């Protein structure tokens, strides 16, 4: 067998390259006649029964193909020789590799891409065009562009979400909501009694590759699963079926997310739950431990190695871990990062719980870009059982959020104090601000104003493209300001949408620890920033930590749980997090004001 070479390219690859060139030329505003010749050649490449790579050197035969003239024959020969087309590569360099991805969005053609390019919505310097577009939509920068009505913009936004889901991973909140919908449907079937998410969703990972759901009950007993399988397969949210077996049904839901539903008898439910929760690395290490102890561990049971018919444990996870000489541990810890040893030695940390959070100190109101009033936020805080909240609207540099200038900030503080008084001690409402860190690290509001608020969060919201050195110096300078008490969403990422900005996180965390500036874990499911790994680092460095919902709507305070799961993944305890303390303890834990 020869080594694969470019001449083994199939006709579809020829067609794709020609089609992409046509798209790029259209974005470039090239002559429509020339564009059409590329599209016709692409179609011809797709249709012909002749193998282009085999006949590329034979010009007369190429020219016999309908839709291929002299100039396109030369292009095909170029592709056969080099695997690409110079025109395409030049245009791609000019407009950025991201535009091809952009064209895969529903309803998105070269004309729209050209429109976005001319309007500065996308730039060739950034290869994440889909991400740039998503940001522009969120920021309202498409409003007013030709052919961009509210309906069209909404269609694009949804198209991006769908595309992302089918292209890869899915955010934890989106996966969680889908899992709950499916579980509610499954539990309506007589004979399905319990449905539990396993896999990365159960481990609380910030994004999920596919959904693993386990179901059990009398209808899930082997050889009697037929009706239950049919019921699963008729879930109304199914987009397409992947596989339907005796105890497993796999499908895609509308948005492209894959779901694996497994039907299991109760006797082996614990073993299955343990196995399908993973992670793979945790399971591998656990199986090795089992082998050393003379057991074999599978998705069905923990059994004796010398006689696999002797089952040691299988019904619950607790029994399995106990038989392996271990304590049961939270799924969030199961990444083979030392949890097996800790558990075996009885040294598992007492992980933070959602119920231990006493306050939420980052949220926005109608004063800037929030949708609820101060009162509504306070009432929502009460419903969460909190002892305190802080209102922290944006500052003036973020004009598109209607950020506060000094005068409005002072007025806002007065209004917050009024609501605080009206709550009569049922909940404390602190005055605060999310002050913007300007490009050079200066803060967006005067110290005299910051001095009047309990909670000053400093965050980066602009100029994400700065170099690592610039950005690190910028954030360092910001936290040197003695009024800054919390560093907000420290890396600025938006999951599946915007990468974290370049930052020497270690250096920033070290300095924050020295200064006593608390670092935020932003529990908003689109941020979850610092990530689990950086949270661990923050703890090692002795940072004070705070977890916040960053709500822009009273309904979002309840999303704190997504963040708590990341804290668990970083092995944090209530002691590590300032807002598990009561109001006085929380304030005392913040950096002292000058």
Smallest distance from Ca ion to CB 352, Å: 25
Smallest distance from ligand DGT to CB 201, Å: 7
Closer CB to ligand DGT, 257 or 519, in the complex:
257
Distance CA 121, CA 137 (A): 9
Considering the rule CB under 6 A, would residue 296 count as an interface residue with ligand DGT? no
Please identify which residue in 19, 23, 26, 212 interacts with Ca ion, judged by CB under 5 A: 212
Residue 279 contact partner, candidates Zn ion, ligand DGT, Ca ion, none, CB within 5 to 8 A by sort of partner: ligand DGT
Closer CB to ligand DGT, 126 or 298, in the complex:
298
Smallest distance from Ca ion to CB 162, Å: 19
Residue 332 contact partner, candidates Ca ion, ligand DGT, Zn ion, none, CB within 5 to 8 A by sort of partner: none
Helix (H) or strand (E) holding 512: helix 505-515
| H helices present in 526-572, as ranges | 532-540, 560-569
Closer CB to Ca ion, 199 or 204, in the complex:
199
Distance CA 441, CA 464 (A): 13
Residue 6 contact partner, candidates Zn ion, Ca ion, ligand DGT, none, CB within 5 to 8 A by sort of partner: none
Distance CA 53, CA 243 (A): 36
Considering the rule CB under 6 A, would residue 196 count as an interface residue with ligand DGT? no
Closer CB to ligand DGT, 262 or 358, in the complex:
262
Considering the rule CB under 6 A, would residue 247 count as an interface residue with ligand DGT? no
Considering the rule CB under 6 A, would residue 376 count as an interface residue with ligand DGT? no
Closer CB to Ca ion, 235 or 464, in the complex:
235
Task: Provide the 3-class DSSP secondary structure of residue 35.
Answer: helix
CA-wise closest residue to 546 among 572, 526, 527: 572
Q: Which strand ranges, in their side-by-side order, compose the sheet holding 311-313?
A: 295-297, 302-304, 311-313
Torsion angles phi and psi, residue 577, rounded to 5:
-120, 120
CA-wise closest residue to 174 among 261, 280, 234, 256: 256
Smallest distance from ligand DGT to CB 244, Å: 18
Closer CB to ligand DGT, 131 or 199, in the complex:
199
**Sole residue written with tokens 């961009």:** 148
Residue nearest to Zn ion (CB): 459
Please identify which residue in 110, 131, 197, 199 interacts with Ca ion, judged by CB under 5 A: 199
Closer CB to Zn ion, 372 or 459, in the complex:
459
Closer CB to Zn ion, 39 or 493, in the complex:
493
Closer CB to ligand DGT, 44 or 208, in the complex:
208
Number of chain positions touching Ca ion (CB under 5 A): 5
Considering the rule CB under 6 A, would residue 210 count as an interface residue with ligand DGT? yes
What residues form DSSP beta bridges with 404?
A: 395
- Give the β-pairing of 518-522 and 545-548: parallel
Please identify which residue in 44, 121, 208, 567 interacts with ligand DGT, judged by CB under 6 A: 208
Distance (Å) of CA 303 to CA 271, 290, 297, 590: 11, 9, 6, 52
Please identify which residue in 19, 260, 526, 576 interacts with Ca ion, judged by CB under 5 A: 260
Closer CB to ligand DGT, 111 or 280, in the complex:
280
Closer CB to ligand DGT, 191 or 209, in the complex:
209
Closer CB to Zn ion, 368 or 459, in the complex:
459
Number of helices (H), then strands (E), in the chain: 25, 17
Smallest distance from Zn ion to CB 494, Å: 11
Considering the rule CB under 5 A, would residue 46 count as an interface residue with Ca ion? no
- Give the β-pairing of 248-253 and 302-304: unpaired
Smallest distance from Ca ion to CB 500, Å: 24
Considering the rule CB under 6 A, would residue 112 count as an interface residue with ligand DGT? no
Please identify which residue in 48, 200, 247, 365 interacts with ligand DGT, judged by CB under 6 A: 200
Residue nearest to ligand DGT (CB): 278
Smallest distance from ligand DGT to CB 521, Å: 21
Smallest distance from ligand DGT to CB 321, Å: 16
Please give the residue ranges that form the binding site for Zn ion (CB under 5 A): 459
Return the DSSP state at 205.
Answer: -
N- to C-terminal Cα distance for the chain?
76
Site string for ligand DGT, 264-293 (x = CB under 6 A): -----------xx-xxx--xx---------
- Helix axes of 280-292 and 269-277: crossing angle, nearest 10 degrees: 130
- Helix axes of 505-515 and 468-480: crossing angle, nearest 10 degrees: 10
Q: How far is CA 537 from the centre of its chain?
A: 20
Considering the rule CB under 6 A, would residue 191 count as an interface residue with ligand DGT? no
CA-wise closest residue to 387 among 349, 421, 356, 433: 356
Residue 283 contact partner, candidates ligand DGT, Zn ion, Ca ion, none, CB within 5 to 8 A by sort of partner: ligand DGT
- Give the β-pairing of 455-459 and 486-487: parallel
Q: Which strand ranges, in their side-by-side order, compose the sheet holding 258-264?
A: 194-197, 211-216, 258-264, 248-253, 238-244
Please identify which residue in 98, 110, 131, 199 interacts with ligand DGT, judged by CB under 6 A: 199
Smallest distance from Zn ion to CB 403, Å: 11
CB atoms within 10 A of CB 357: 25
Considering the rule CB under 6 A, would residue 381 count as an interface residue with ligand DGT? no
**Sole residue written with tokens 């009561």:** 582
Distance CA 113, CA 132 (A): 12
b/e per residue 244-258 (b: at least 16 CB within 10 A): eeebebbbbbebbbb
Residue 459 contact partner, candidates Zn ion, Ca ion, ligand DGT, none, CB within 5 to 8 A by sort of partner: Zn ion
Closer CB to Zn ion, 175 or 494, in the complex:
494
* DSSP string for 465-508: T--HHHHHHHHHHHHHSTT--EE-STT--BTTTBPPPP--HHHH
CB atoms within 10 A of CB 378: 25
Piece of 49-57, 78-86, 211-219, 327-335 that binds Ca ion (CB under 5 A): 211-219
**Sole residue written with tokens 């944090």:** 572
Which residues would be at the binding site for ligand DGT (CB under 6 A)?
A: 199-200, 205, 208-210, 212, 275-276, 278-280, 283-284
Which residues would be at the binding site for Ca ion (CB under 5 A)?
A: 199-200, 210, 212, 260
């Amino acid at each position: 067998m020869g080594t694969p070479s470019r001449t083994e390219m199939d006709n579809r690859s020829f067609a794709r390259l020609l089609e992409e060139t046509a798209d790029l030329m259209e974005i470039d505003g090239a002559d429509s006649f020339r564009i059409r010749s590329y599209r016709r050649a692409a179609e011809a490449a797709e249709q012909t029964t002749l193998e282009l790579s085999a006949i590329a050197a034979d010009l007369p035969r190429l020219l016999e193909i309908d839709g291929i003239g002299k100039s396109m024959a030369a292009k095909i020969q170029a592709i056969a020789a080099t695997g690409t087309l110079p025109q395409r590569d030049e245009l791609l360099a000019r407009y950025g590799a991201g535009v091809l991805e952009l064209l895969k969005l529903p309803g998105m053609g070269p004309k729209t891409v050209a429109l976005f390019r001319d309007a500065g919505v996308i730039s060739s310097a950034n290869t994440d065009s889909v991400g740039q577009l998503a940001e522009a939509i969120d920021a309202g920068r498409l409003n007013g562009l030709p052919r961009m009505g509210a309906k069209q913009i909404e269609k694009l936004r949804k198209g991006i979400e769908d595309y992302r889901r089918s292209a890869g991973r899915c955010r934890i909140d989106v996966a969680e909501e889908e899992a709950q919908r499916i579980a509610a449907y499954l539990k309506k079937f007589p004979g399905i009694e319990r449905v539990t998410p396993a896999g990365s969703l159960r481990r609380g990972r910030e994004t999920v590759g596919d959904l693993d759901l386990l179901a059990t009950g009398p209808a899930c007993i082997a050889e009697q699963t037929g009706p239950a399988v049919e019921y699963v397969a008729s879930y109304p949210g199914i987009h397409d079926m992947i596989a339907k077996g005796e105890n497993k049904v796999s499908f895609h839901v509308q948005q492209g997310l894959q779901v694996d539903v497994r039907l299991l008898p109760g006797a082996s439910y614990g073993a299955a739950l343990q196995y399908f929760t993973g992670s793979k690395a945790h399971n591998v290490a656990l199986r090795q431990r089992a082998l050393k102890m003379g057991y074999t561990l599978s998705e069905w049971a923990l059994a004796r190695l010398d006689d696999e018919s002797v089952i040691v444990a299988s019904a619950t996870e607790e029994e399995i871990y106990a038989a392996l000489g271990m304590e049961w541990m939270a799924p969030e810890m199961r990444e083979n990062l030392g949890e097996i040893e800790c558990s075996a030695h009885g040294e598992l940390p007492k992980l933070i719980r959602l119920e231990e959070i006493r306050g939420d100190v980052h949220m926005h109101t109608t004063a800037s870009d929030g949708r609820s009033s101060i009162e509504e936020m306070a009432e929502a805080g009460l419903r969460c059982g909190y002892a305190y909240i802080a209102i922290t609207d944006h500052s003036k540099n973020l004009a598109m959020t209607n950020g506060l200038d000094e005068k409005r900030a002072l007025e806002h503080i007065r209004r917050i104090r009024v609501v605080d008084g009206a709550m009569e001690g049922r909940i404390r409402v602190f005055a605060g601000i999310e002050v913007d860190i300007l490009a050079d690290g200066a803060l967006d509001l005067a110290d005299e104003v910051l001095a009047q608020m309990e909670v000053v969060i400093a965050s980066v919201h602009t100029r994400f493209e700065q170099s690592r050195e610039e950005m690190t110096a910028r954030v360092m300078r910001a936290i040197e300001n003695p009024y800054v008490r919390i560093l907000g969403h420290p890396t600025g990422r938006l999951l599946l949408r915007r990468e974290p900005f370049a930052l020497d996180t270690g250096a920033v965390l070290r300095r924050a620890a020295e200064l006593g500036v608390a670092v935020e874990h932003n529990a908003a499911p689109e941020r979850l920033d610092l990530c689990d790994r950086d949270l661990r680092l923050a703890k090692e460095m002795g940072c004070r930590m705070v977890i916040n919902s960053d709500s822009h709507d009273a309904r979002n305070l309840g999303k704190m749980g997504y963040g708590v799961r990341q804290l668990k993944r970083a092995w944090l305890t209530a002691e590590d997090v300032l807002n598990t303390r009561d109001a006085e303890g929380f304030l005392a834990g913040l950096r002292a004001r000058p």
